[in-house]
């Protein structure tokens, strides 16, 4: 994977990995905007397949991006990766980067959630796909079962990473934070289903929320890319 650290292809000071990340972020955001307009035009079938394919592709790419840090924005390089002033680094770059990382986590969780909600809240009648305007609720027992499966998968991945790269408190914090976030999302879901018991209305409301998250995510990611590799390039090897 050393070639990912070679000079990028967008004509900036970025690496191939950073350029690839920015390109994919632009592509996914564009796809989701198209999907949003499809939903607004009631093109349910086209919307379903575009969003499903786009979210699966995004999850596959960005889980590898942030979990294995092979295509990183050099967020952990420290001040030497940023060529601006210390004040700009502390009070502008780091806050934007922190917001970006938080939104990435929320965005990935919402991608999984919206895929599941999309299947649960839809109906296909005579070959025509649409949202089902009916009650859509789950129980704590089902939530517990799903969370148990996710916990087992995350722990398996964590143990595999330990076996290959060794144990670190930071890794443990990352995986524990992921499980905590999933638990919070499930708890919120139990509250949301009381607010929007109708599956179709819930899908529309949370779809709008997720779309807003992705647009802000693209803006923050593009801002960090611009600051790191165009405006204030640092000593990046």
In Å, the largest CA–CA distance within the chain is 62
Indicate whether 77 pLDDT > 60.
no
The reported pTM is 0.79
Q: Lowest-confidence range among 163-172, 204-213, 215-224?
A: 163-172
Q: Which pLDDT band, with edges at 50, 70 and 90, does 76 fall under?
A: very low
User: pLDDT tens across 131-174, in order?
Assistant: 999 988 888 888 889 889 989 988 888 888 787 777 777 677 77
**Cα torsion through 207, 213, 219, 223, rounded to 10:** -160
Q: Which pLDDT band, with edges at 50, 70 and 90, does 7 fall under?
A: confident
């Amino acid at each position: 994977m050393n070639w990912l650290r070679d000079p990028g292809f967008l004509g900036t000071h970025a690496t191939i990995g950073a350029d690839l990340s920015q390109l994919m972020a632009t592509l996914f955001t564009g796809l989701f905007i198209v999907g949003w307009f499809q939903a607004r035009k009631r093109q349910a079938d086209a919307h379903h397949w575009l969003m499903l394919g786009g979210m699966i592709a995004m999850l596959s790419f960005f889980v590898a991006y942030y979990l294995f840090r092979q295509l990183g924005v050099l967020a952990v390089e420290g001040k030497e990766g940023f060529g601006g002033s210390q004040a700009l680094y502390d009070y502008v770059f780091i806050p934007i980067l922190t917001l970006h990382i938080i939104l990435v986590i929320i965005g990935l969780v919402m991608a999984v959630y919206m895929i599941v909600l999309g299947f649960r809240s839809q109906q296909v009648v005579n070959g025509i796909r649409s949202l089902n305007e009916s009650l859509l609720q789950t129980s704590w027992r089902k939530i517990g079962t799903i969370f148990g499966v996710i916990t087992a998968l995350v722990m398996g991945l964590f143990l595999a990473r330990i076996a290959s790269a060794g144990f670190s408190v930071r890794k443990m914090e990352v995986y524990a934070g992921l499980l905590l976030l999933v638990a919070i999302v499930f708890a919120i879901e139990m509250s949301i289903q009381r607010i929007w018991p109708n599956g179709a209305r819930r899908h529309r409301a949370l779809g709008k929320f997720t779309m807003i998250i992705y647009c802000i995510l693209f803006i923050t990611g593009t801002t960090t890319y611009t600051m790191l590799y165009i405006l204030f390039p640092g000593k990046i090897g």
